């Protein structure tokens, strides 16, 4: 990887799963699995725009509540991608709380979640703070091959694995770009 992206394990290799990809020249980051997020600062978590969940074991999803807590009163959207069941898991977590203090005047924090299989996206759902995180089914966008996210600078692909449950393996690939190092050029 180039200096554009700074990868960092959230925990040690034998603890809860989590990989933070921090984009050096942008106000964004991505998380691959969200186990225990306590080693990350709120500033680091608030840069997250996309979360990729490999499977729904606790050590890969336990950090959801911390992420939710930090984003709740912000006008942001966090995109979740995972295997079949990730949207149901997001909904179950959100349904565990009482949202009577949220209304149309609340910040517009949204979670956009999609289940993915090699056949494409299924059960894409939007959960908005302004509606008390009521589930809104959205049109499932077609996935081109194994591509979950196609950004101008990179793309994220997935492959389905068997871990006793549906499990995704992810590949982050930067697209070709030119880096000019001005001091060396001069």
**Which domain CATH number covers 117?**
3.60.15.10
- Read off the tokens for 85: 């069941």
Helix (H, G, I), strand (E, B) or coil at 66: helix
Question: Exposed/middle/buried for 133, CB within 10 Å: 0-12, 13-18, 19+?
Answer: buried
- Beta bridge partners of residue 8, listed in sequence order: 20
The burial of 92, by beta-carbon neighbours within 10 Å (0-12 exposed, 13-18 middle, 19 or more buried), is given as exposed
Task: Round to whole Å and give the CA distance between 100 and 186.
Answer: 61
Number of domains, the chain: 1
What does the pLDDT read at residue 1?
43
The whole model's pTM is what? 0.89
Domain of 83 in residue numbering reads as: 5-185
- Percent of the chain as helix, strand, coil, to the nearest 5: 15, 35, 45
Please identify every stretch of the chain with a pLDDT value under 50, giving residue numbers as ranges.
Answer: 1
How much is the pLDDT for 177?
A: 65
Under 8 Å between Cβ of 25 and 5: no
- Residue ranges of alpha helices (H) inside 15-63 are 42-45
Alpha helix stretches (DSSP H) within 51-104:
64-71, 86-95
> Buried b / exposed e across 18-45, counting CB within 10 Å, b at 16+?
bbbbbbeeeeebbbbbbbbbeebeeebb
């Amino acid at each position: 990887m180039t200096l554009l992206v700074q990868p960092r394990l959230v925990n040690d290799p034998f603890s809860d799963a989590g990989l933070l990809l921090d984009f050096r020249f942008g106000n964004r980051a991505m998380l691959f699995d969200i186990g225990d997020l306590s080693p990350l600062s709120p500033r680091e978590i608030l840069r997250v725009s996309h979360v990729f969940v490999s499977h729904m074991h606790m050590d890969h999803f336990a950090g959801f509540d911390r992420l939710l807590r930090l984003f709740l009163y912000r006008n942001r959207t966090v995109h979740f991608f995972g295997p079949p069941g990730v949207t149901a898991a997001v909904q179950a977590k959100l349904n565990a709380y009482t949202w009577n203090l949220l209304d149309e005047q609340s910040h517009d924090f949204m979670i956009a979640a999609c289940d993915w299989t090699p056949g494409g996206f299924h059960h894409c759902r939007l959960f908005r703070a302004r509606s008390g995180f009521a589930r809104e089914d959205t049109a499932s966008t077609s996935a081109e091959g194994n591509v979950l996210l196609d950004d101008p600078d990179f793309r994220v692909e997935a492959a389905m694995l068997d871990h006793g449950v549906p499990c995704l393996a992810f590949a982050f690939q930067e697209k070709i770009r030119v880096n000019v190092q001005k001091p060396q050029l001069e």
